[in-house]
Amino acid sequence: MEMIEPVDISRPSLMLVDGMAVLFRAYYATAYGGSIRRMKDGTPTNAVYGYMRYFWDAVETFKPTHIACCWDLGSKTFRSEQFTDYKANRAECPEDLVPQFQMMKDVMDAFGIPNISVEGYEADDCIGTLSRLYREEYDVMVLTGDHDMLQLVHDHTKVIIMKKGHGNYAVYTPEYLQEERQILPDQVIDIKGLMGDTSDNYPGVRGIGEKTAYKLVQQYGSIEGILGNMEELAKGVRTKIEADLDMLHLSRKLATIDCDAPLACDIESCFFDPDRNQVSTLMEKLEMTSVVRLVGM
């Protein structure tokens, strides 16, 4: 794990929270043992409670001045139009988690944190768009568990990958990405194009795994570099790429975060200055007074 660097107080900072990733992580971390936290009326709240523990630890660790939370809408996206099997392998959302999506957005509202989503786009695209929009004036921090986000790493964009356990992070800067994986942020997309993504259900080039994908991109720089030097490749690798050229290009397209999603987000609305009464009132309603104590309100 990379050392967490001191916060640069000379520049304001914007934390972009991958709401879906954090909420799913919180749900499964707490539901694993079979004991689901519920309100007196039976409404499940385990994911919301777990989310707040993860979220508040990140706030205290990285001390953002501004925060926004990005969400998927669960509807069809431009990627599912390009490839009908995109994410088709995903299991149904657990029944106990369904009511907690809106509940979590209500909690973010109570903290004065904007909930951002766009029809036809994923949370990743919202995060990518906001990071590109504000990275010249703000130190952007992306809080997620999704390694696809590493393509957003930039001199003023850190990608904070949540690892197992509370308070355990890998903080990716361009230097750390180079040190750990010997690649540049843009090359994350080329690697995904080659190896595909089983969780998002697109295949890449059949027969090329992670190890070969990294080796090829490190050696030739990009998919274009690989295709321009096909005669140098081992016959087996060359044959696989030639057989799956269309899927290679489509997979790279599917892996690319769209940083031009049509969204509006006033940065002033992201300034993090929660109202104690709003937070306390909602947490009491959700029977989570321990969260009020956790956040020191």
Percentages (nearest 5) of helix, strand, coil residues in the chain: 50, 10, 40
Q: How many domains does the chain have?
A: 2
CATH number at residue 248: 1.10.150.20
pLDDT mean over 120-135: 96
> Per-residue confidence at 129, pLDDT binned at 50, 70, 90?
very high
pLDDT mean over 129-146: 96
Same domain, 69 and 31: yes
> CA-to-CA distance for 284 and 72, rounded, in angstroms?
27
- Give the model confidence (pLDDT) of 151-197 as tens digits: 999 999 999 999 987 788 999 999 999 999 999 999 999 999 999 99
* Domain encompassing residue 233: 187-255
Least confident of 35-44, 118-127, 247-256: 35-44
- Give the model confidence (pLDDT) of 73-124 as tens digits: 876 888 888 887 778 777 778 889 999 999 999 999 999 999 999 999 999 9
pLDDT of residue 75: 67
120 Ramachandran zone, left/alpha/beta (phi>0; psi -120 to 50) = left
> Within a 10 A sphere around the Cβ of 124, how many other Cβ atoms?
27
Same domain, 18 and 148: yes
pLDDT of residue 11: 87
Pairing of strands 157-162, 169-172: antiparallel
> Within a 10 A sphere around the Cβ of 127, how many other Cβ atoms?
30
Q: What's the whole-number average pLDDT of the chain? A: 91
> CA-to-CA distance for 127 and 194, rounded, in angstroms?
24
pLDDT mean over 68-72: 96
Radius of gyration of the chain (CA): 20
Same domain, 237 and 103: no
CATH number at residue 74: 3.40.50.1010
Same domain, 238 and 133: no
Same domain, 89 and 46: yes
> Between residues 58 and 9, which one has the greater pLDDT?
58
> CA-to-CA distance for 136 and 29, rounded, in angstroms?
36
Least confident of 28-37, 200-209, 239-248: 28-37
* 2 assigned to some structural domain: no
> CA-to-CA distance for 285 and 43, rounded, in angstroms?
12
Same domain, 24 and 140: yes
* 125 assigned to some structural domain: yes
Q: Is 182 exposed, middle or buried (0-12, 13-18, 19+ CB in 10 A)?
A: exposed
Contacts 24+ apart (CB under 8 A), 282-290: 282/106, 282/107, 282/110, 283/107, 283/110, 286/39, 286/45, 286/48, 286/103, 286/107, 287/39, 287/40, 287/45, 288/45, 288/48, 288/49, 288/52
> CA-to-CA distance for 234 and 203, rounded, in angstroms?
21
